Amino acid sequence: MPSAITTYVINTLRTLHWISACGWIGGGLAVLILLKLAGAPTGQEEAEVLQRSIIAVDDYLIIPSAGISATSGVTLCYLRRWGWSKHRWIKEKCIITAILLLFGAFWLAPDLRTLLPAGLDFETDLGYHRHWLAGSIAAAFQTLGLFLLLGLSILKPEKAPVPQRRNKN
């Protein structure tokens, strides 16, 4: 841990980390609520508005919050005494966060952006409903993963450090 880091900087990073994690989880819940409403739209215009709302939540809440949360978490691990290898739960959080970021960036977000393709008649075409169901299931898994991260952060299941191997020389 660099010695010039003050308690103020650590507390500011921790606060930023928690606020951004709450934004990421809240954005995921907001998308789930919008997907619930998008399951039975009353018209093409309403379906388009719901899709635009999902895209806005993703662009302005989820993406920045996920990036800030991951960056501040990595920075905190570097600056705190925990480091990278002393606790198993830190490694687990890093792996789960990387999986959620990749899943969200390369599968979930692009899938939700094409929820309502142009010219689709959602009242007669079952493709919209299948696409909506797949997006809803994926968003639910993403949000459950975020709650798993929250649980790991709060419970810290392995408080004892992992024993370091000693060289026998």
- The pTM assigned to this predicted structure is 0.83
The answer to whether the Cα torsion of 1, 161, 101, 58 is positive or negative is negative
Residue 32 · residue 141 · CB < 8 Å: no
3-state helix, strand, coil in the chain (%, to 5): 75, 0, 25
Number of Cβ atoms within 10 Å of the Cβ of 121? 9
Torsion on CA atoms 35, 150, 64, 33, rounded to nearest 10: 10
pLDDT at 3: 53
pLDDT tens per residue, range 23-68: 999 999 999 999 998 877 777 788 888 889 999 999 999 999 999 9
Domain ranges of the chain: 7-155
pLDDT at 17: 95
DSSP state letter for 82: T
pLDDT in tens, the chain (169 residues): 555 578 888 999 999 999 999 999 999 999 999 999 887 777 778 888 888 999 999 999 999 999 999 999 999 988 887 777 778 888 889 999 999 999 999 999 998 888 876 666 666 777 777 888 888 999 999 999 999 999 988 888 775 555 666 666 5
pLDDT at 137: 93
